[in-house]
Structure 1
Amino acid sequence: MKTTGLNFRHLYFFWMVAKEGSVTRAAERLGLAVQTVSMQLALLEQSVGKQLLEPQGRRLAPTEAGRVALSYCDQIFLLGDQLQDALEETDTGKMRLTVGISDSLPKLIAFRLLEATQQMGQQVKLVCLEDEFESLLADLALNKLDVVLTDRAVRPGGGLRVFSHLLGESGMQLFGVPRLVRKVRRNFPASLDGAPLLLPTRNNALRGRIDAWLVQHGVRPDVVGEFEDNAMLNTFGRNGLGLFFAPSALAHDIQEQFGAVLAGDAPELREQFYAISNERKIKHPAVEAILTAVHSGPFAVAP
């Protein structure tokens, strides 16, 4: 069996110095003498036969070889932390599920999708991280996440070996504060011509479908805001900046939590929800519980 000649203590010191940009600051964080950290770093460079750090202004920056090493260190020590957490949780009987949530996915949808994990026989500890779609896919490919919840499928032919699983879908409805809805409720959707509207940005999977729906009905609303983050869009909507679309499956929550009322239905518009995994077949018991729940619930895919 092939074994590595790397000393992982030395590698950890390199990682800390690279993150801090200084041997002195790294030594302070580690509670060690500067000379000790410098010596360990020198031994690592000697063992790999390459310079890993070089002065750059007042900082130490990774060389080309150092950047390669740093990317591996990020994975090694993140997995080490996850291993320690997993081992600690074996004593509590909890199952850990680390979920990446796309910033374009409605937060209420994320809650509804994850709700099933709390009904399992075994207690599930959720670790939820929000980021942009592409960043989450990269973390998933590096095994930093168990699954990604998002509103779009992964495009075929990409370099990442990840797989899309359709969880469910929902029709869309238009909501707004009462004073705005009163102006557009009659003769909807023709009444949207010139009405203030809040939309997701054009990199959102739903945006193209909304634009096509507006063209289909021959209306040109006044787009007063575009938002990458769905939660921010809803915040501006609940405060009366404009009308906004939301999944019909969340109509009750939207009206109760946001004080918004229904302006009209857009049943032709469908928002889809996906679980992205790094395996063709999802094996994590908590994700399987999500799949079972949503396929028979309000997000079930229409035939």
Structure 2
Amino acid sequence: MYKKHPGMLFYRKRNWAFFAFTVPLLILYGVLFIAPIAGGLFYSFTDYNGISKNINFVGLKNYISIFSSSRFPKSIWFNIQYSFWLVLFTVVLGLVLALLLDRDIKAKGFFRAMYFFPAVLPNLTMALVFNGIMTKGIPELGILLNIESWEISLLSRTNTAMYAVLFVNIWKGLAIPTVLFLAGLQTVPAELYESASIDGASPWKRFKVITIPFLIPSLTMVFVLTLKQGLMVYDLIMGMTGGGPAGATESMAMLIYRHGFVERKLSAAMAESIILAILVCAISFIQIFWSQKRRVYD
């Protein structure tokens, strides 16, 4: 008769032990992630307002109503513009900083610490600090210097408020992408640069043909993280403009908050949250799929 090898029993017991350790994490993941998503999806098809016990199924009414209103499409357009400029400047400036900090320069450790300092500060704290600078500091300086364009706060103009918030977001969020790019630069074999230099390749050609392909994983990660940050921006806007002036900086996250907790339209807020999640996932998957085709493997 066939006898089980003792080693097989050992491995089976070990696998069950590993599974037992994952059970608490699976429960937490289900309770804190899967259940809220399922609940939000359910409530988005109802008329739930967060208080009433009477819940009626309304189908796609919430989705139709938010698109028929001008506020949600306007907030989507704001997030698209904001995310585009945020991703563009973060990728370009982060890559330039990484290339500069990767060189042998004096006081390199000091400069690395200085540019990373804003990353450790809370977003809301930075928003309140820059709100004071832009609403009081710069206008007062404009009055002293008799510069008329400085006397009106950037946050009080509909055509400049978004760019003021964007500046703070870029300044604070540039550190992590730079670190990721620095890590990516360490993976580029030095002999490839040497061979390209011997062949007479220009610095731009070496950067385009050698550096960029090796930075694809870092670029993908920075793109996805920065895009998510841009599409879900909330705390900087809350601290600097509150969604104003005249709704010029009302992002999707800000609109979801107002519908859910201020205007008591929780079901509409759930529908907007589902659309935002789908938008973030779709763009992220497209970017990851595109980058996988161009990635350089060892």
Q: Which category describes the TM-score, using the shorter chain as reference length?
A: under 0.3
The structure in which a higher percent of residues are helix is 2
Task: Compute the TM-score of the two structures, normalised by the length of structure 2.
Answer: 0.23
More strand per residue: 1 or 2?
1
